[in-house]
């Protein structure tokens, strides 16, 4: 892979038992880029992000992150991963969850305290720091999961539908922060079904039935399909059931 690329997939296939869910997927993501994966439910987006995050392994083909073939344990400290399902300890407070994950990331006490403050402000949960997670709404749990993914200031962020259940104003604030992180050099891979989020990505990959069927900037995809919006692009590529 190019030393400039943060993420690269080369001819990736993934089979579960005898069912093939990814077919020869290849793409690259350089530093300081927000790359969006778009496609209907069951198209293979979550499988792709799990391969990149190192929690699943390709049946064939190669997945590289920071020049290392995945999965590789030493690379995980450079990745912030937010799954579709919130991996939180519900019997603990938000602060306890953050302290636990900070310890896994190796954050020292003073820096840990500062980062907890910063990420909770970002996701607008500062006033709920000492509340038990079992009392959180679904949207609040998503926001806490995002805070955890950002906690150790990773060079690569992998976010699987991070803004589901989050109100539009806060979603706008979160995207402003993501764009700021990208400008500072963070590579961000995101899956989303929200059209205005897709439009904010530097580059998009359209996934359908486990295949990458189109790739380009939002503008390039509109020009290629003759669509006057990203919604039109989705429909053109058979994504009407998104």
Give residue limits of the domains in the chain.
7-79+147-236
Question: Considering only CA atoms, which of 79, 125, 66 is closest in space to residue 105?
Answer: 79
Domain 7-79+147-236 has what CATH class? alpha beta
How far is 216 from 229, CA to CA, in rounded Å? 14
pLDDT at 3: 47
Q: Helix, strand, or coil here: 5?
A: coil
pLDDT at 239: 53
Q: Which of 12-21, 27-36, 200-209, 231-240 has the lowest mean pLDDT?
A: 231-240
Structure token digits, residue 13: 């296939």
Beta strand pairing call for 34-38 and 79-82: unpaired
**pLDDT tens-digit map of 94-113:** 999 999 999 999 999 899 99
What value does the mean pLDDT take over residues 139-149? Answer: 93
| Residue 2 vs residues 5, 27, 60, 80: alpha-carbon distances, Å | 5, 12, 20, 22
Total-model pTM: 0.90
What value does the mean pLDDT take over residues 211-223? Answer: 95
**pLDDT tens-digit map of 178-189:** 999 999 999 999
Question: Considering only CA atoms, which of 179, 238, 227, 138 is closest in space to residue 36?
Answer: 179
Structure token digits, residue 98: 């953050």
Sign of CA dihedral 139, 144, 145, 146: positive
How far is 5 from 216, CA to CA, in rounded Å? 16
Structure token digits, residue 131: 């509340």
């Amino acid at each position: 892979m190019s030393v400039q690329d943060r993420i690269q997939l080369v001819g990736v296939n993934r089979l579960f038992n005898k069912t093939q869910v990814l077919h020869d997927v290849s793409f690259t993501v350089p530093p300081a880029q927000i790359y969006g994966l778009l496609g209907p439910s069951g198209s293979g987006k979550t499988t792709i992000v799990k391969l990149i995050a190192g929690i699943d392994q390709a049946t064939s083909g190669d997945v590289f992150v920071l020049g290392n073939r995945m999965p590789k344990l030493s690379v995980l400290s450079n990745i912030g991963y937010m799954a579709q399902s919130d991996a939180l300890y519900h019997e603990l407070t938000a602060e306890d969850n953050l302290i636990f994950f900070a310890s896994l990331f190796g954050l020292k006490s003073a820096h840990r305290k500062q980062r907890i403050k910063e990420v909770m402000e970002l996701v607008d949960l500062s006033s709920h720091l000492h509340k038990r997670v079992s009392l959180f709404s679904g949207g609040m749990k998503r926001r806490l999961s995002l805070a955890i993914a950002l906690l150790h200031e990773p060079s690569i962020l992998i976010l699987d539908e991070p803004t589901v259940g989050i109100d539009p104003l806060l979603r706008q604030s979160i995207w402003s922060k993501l764009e700021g992180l990208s400008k500072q050099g963070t590579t961000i891979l995101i899956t989303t079904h929200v059209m205005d989020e897709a439009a904010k990505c530097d580059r998009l990959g359209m996934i359908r039935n486990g295949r990458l069927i189109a790739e380009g900037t939002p503008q390039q995809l509109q020009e290629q399909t003759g669509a006057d919006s990203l919604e039109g692009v989705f429909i053109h590529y058979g994504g009407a059931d998104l």
